Amino acid sequence: MTRLRRLFLAPSVTLTVLLFLTPLGILLVYTFLTRGAYGGMGAPWTLENWVRVADPLYLGILVRSVLAAAVSTLLCLVLGFPLALFISRAGRRKNLYLFLVVLPFWTSFLIRTYAWMFLLRDTGLINTLLISAGIVREPLPLLYNYGAVVLGLVYGYLPFMVLPLYAALERIDSNLLEASSDLGAHPWQTLKRVVLPLSAPGVRAGLILVFIPCLGAYLTPDLLGGGKTILIGTLIQNQFSTARDWPFGSAVSLALMAAVMVLLMVLARRHGDSLL
């Protein structure tokens, strides 16, 4: 029996070791190397890259990225909760609404982000309409700023919030909501005292599923933020491409990973259950 179980486990273990842990180990080695004059890297061994990660300039980018991810995640929660609640009580229409939530996944994320650029830019749909309606004279600065990045992140990751919330809310027995009302609770009190506590595992899963990819997001900040709003994903990408500083890029990557892991462990310890 145990032999059979090991056999089932073997493919995924092999893949994880080969394609995840090994590159991670290589990345860790890189962080202690020195960048070469024309790209590449080599001796001498150094701690310089890790010291640079702690530089206020880069710490500032990290803080800004955490804030952008946190704001986006909270907005996803605020928008996603009512939506998930609505879908979970929609009876036979549930599947239709769920289908609509995941419908954006049918096209590539890149194309959808470009679509936002067409909407938001100075000569885009929104500004054209506003100007032709005489509401504004000059186009509004909708693109290439912090707000556009948050908008793009919320748009992109909202389904990852809605789905776990839906799963948790759908499991709440509707008798419990009736019981709460029966005992005298106004719908808002039912929401606060019954629905929210019982959906907490879904909220936690949604927060994690949205926050982590938002923190490491590269595409959205790069396309919608322009050059101005540099976030940590863009920083890492720059190190590996234009700056050709692989050792430092590796150090920032691992620092980001460590930060996320610490966060998850704190969350897991507080709730005494698994990470999700």
Partner 1 sequence: MEPVLELDRVSKHFPGHKAVDQLNLTLLDGEFFCLLGPSGCGKTTTLRLIAGFEEPTDGEIRLRGQAISRLKPYQRNINTVFQSYALFPHLTVRANIEFGMRYRGNPARNALEKTVEMLQLGDKIDRLPAQLSGGERQRVALARSLVLEPDVLLLDEPLSALDPNLRKQVRGELKDLQRRTGITFLFITHDQEEALSMSDRLAVMNQGKIEQTGTPQDVYLKPSTRFAATFLGPMNWVNSTGIRPESTRVAPAPPGDDVRTMPAQVEDSIFLGNCVHVKARLVTGEPFVAEVPRTMPRFMPGDRVHLWWEPSDELHLPPQ
List 193, 241, 258, 261, residue binding partner 1 (CB under 8 A): 193
Tracing tokens 């749909």 back to the chain, one arrives at: 125
Q: Which is nearer to partner 1, 6 or 193 (CB)?
A: 193
DSSP E strand stretches across the chain: 34-35, 41-42
Query: Can you spell out the DSSP letters for 237-272?
Result: HHHHTTS--HHHHHHHHHHHHHHHHHHHHHHHHHHT
Contacts (CB under 8 A) with partner 1, residues 173-192: 173, 175-176, 178-186, 189
Phi-psi region of 35 (alpha: psi -120 to 50; beta: other; left: phi over 0): beta
In three state form, how does the secondary structure of 102-113 look?
Answer: HHHHHCCHHHHH
Spatial distance between the Cα atoms of 236 and 224, rounded to a whole number of angstroms: 17
Please report how close the Cβ of residue 85 comes to partner 1 at its closest, in angstroms. Answer: 17
Number of residues near partner 1 (by CB under 8 A): 17
Please report how close the Cβ of residue 200 comes to partner 1 at its closest, in angstroms. Answer: 8
Neighbours of 230 (CB within 10 A): 17
Cβ contact 46:34 at 8 Å: yes
171 makes contact with partner 1 (CB under 8 A): no
Contacts (CB under 8 A) with partner 1, residues 198-237: 198
Which of 51-59, 85-93, 169-177, 209-217 is the region at the interface with partner 1 (rule: CB under 8 A)? 169-177
Paired residues of 34 in beta bridges: 42
91 makes contact with partner 1 (CB under 8 A): no
Cβ contact 187:264 at 8 Å: no
Q: Which is nearer to partner 1, 189 or 241 (CB)?
A: 189
Q: Which is nearer to partner 1, 75 or 205 (CB)?
A: 205
138 makes contact with partner 1 (CB under 8 A): no
134 makes contact with partner 1 (CB under 8 A): no
Residues that bind partner 1 (CB under 8 A): 173, 175-176, 178-186, 189, 193-194, 197-198
